[in-house]
Amino acid sequence: AGGMRIAFVRPKSTGGVLVELASKGD
């Protein structure tokens, strides 16, 4: 749930992709 917001805050070029994947599972 909250992981989705972190994905938006973090740039995808740095590692937001990994966070986005985690947010989908969470």
The whole-number pLDDT of residue 4 equals 57
Query: What is the three-state SS of the chain?
Result: CHHHHHHHHCCHHHHHHHHHHHHHHC
Tell whether the model's pLDDT for residue 3 goes beyond 60: no
Yes or no: say if 20 and 12 are a contact pair by the CB < 8 Å rule: yes
Q: Output the CA torsion 9→11→15→1 (10° steps).
A: 30
pLDDT, tens digit, for every residue of 10-23? 565 655 566 666 55
Q: What is the pLDDT of residue 21?
A: 62
Taking the whole predicted model, whether its pTM rises above 0.85 is answered as no
Number of domains composing the chain: 1
The overall longest dimension of the chain from CA atoms, in Å, is 22
Structural domain containing residue 10: 1-26
Q: How confident is the model at residue 5 (pLDDT cuts 50, 70, 90)?
A: low
Indicate whether 25 pLDDT > 60: no
CA 7 – CA 13 distance, rounded (Å) = 11
